[in-house]
Structure 1
């Protein structure tokens, strides 16, 4: 198992990025590596980081402005070969159909609920690291 996993967090809201960091802690579950965060406040920064490589999971804020995480997720899935799995933060449970449209692998609602979020992130990390991507 690798020593750390890299999680990209996209939100224009610093409080949302903080909620993600706090919900994750050092690691979201005992059987996954410690997490290192890369925080992005703009879609351009997300694309730049993904071009660099080494991202294991993306956490995208569906409520971000000017481009929401759902649209950004769909763009990533269309444009990046073997895009990292995406955990989408949704404003409302009724937006689950949009998460499906965006092709996100998982989605949770805002505000971040630590147990639910950590469980979803850990599941994506297990899948990503198991395939050796």
Structure 2
């Protein structure tokens, strides 16, 4: 029996292209039998807003260490500014910063270093909710 995978659109926000690449590599193009991912990226908050307005995104992944606007502040501001927003995941540097994810309104928070199995699993859970 063949299972067809649903394609999801995921935006990754970070000012560092190498961080965007690490996040994509941790998740992969097909993190489960039921999900494939098309990635977009944004290097500043204005790009995030434009992408949310232009595309039907399923998830936005925010780098908590992004500059000049960090991912936590970007999630919170996006929740205040956009009429409809996709699910959100913030990646923070330290476990102690997870409470900031709740403050930001993110749907989920994970910490560096990214474990590919756990990261992919969490992304799929968010996408399939």
Q: Do both share a fold (TM > 0.5)? A: yes
Which of residues 100, 123, 126 is equivalent to 2:125?
Answer: 123
Q: Is the 8 A contact 1:108 1:116 kept in 2?
A: no
Which of residues 109, 112, 118 is equivalent to 1:110?
Answer: 112
* Matching of residues 37-56 of structure 1 within 5 Å: 37-56=39-58
Report the TM-score, using the length of structure 2 for normalisation: 0.91
Q: Is the 8 A contact 2:5 2:34 kept in 1?
A: no
> Secondary structure of the equivalent of 1:66?
coil
Match of 2:92 in 1: 90
Quick one: distance in 1 between partners of 2:6 and 2:121? 19
* Matching of residues 73-88 of structure 1 within 5 Å: 73-88=75-90
Provide closer, same or farther for how the CA distance between residues 2 and 47 of structure 1 changes in structure 2, counting only shifts above 3 A.
Answer: farther
The structural deviation recorded for 1:2 is 7.3
* Matching of residues 3-42 of structure 1 within 5 Å: 3-32=6-35, 34-42=36-44
The structural deviation recorded for 1:31 is 2.1
Match of 2:103 in 1: 101
> Secondary structure of the equivalent of 1:120?
helix
Gaps in structure 2 of 5+ consecutive residues: none
Which whole-Å deviations, capped at 9, do the CAs of 1:50-71 have from their partners, x for residues lacking one?
1113111000000001000000
Stretch deviating more after TM superposition (116-125 or 76-85): 76-85
| Greater than 3 Å deviation, 4+ residue runs | none
Q: CA RMSD in A?
A: 1.4
The structural deviation recorded for 1:16 is 1.1
Gaps in structure 1 of 5+ consecutive residues: 128-133
Match of 1:71 in 2: 73
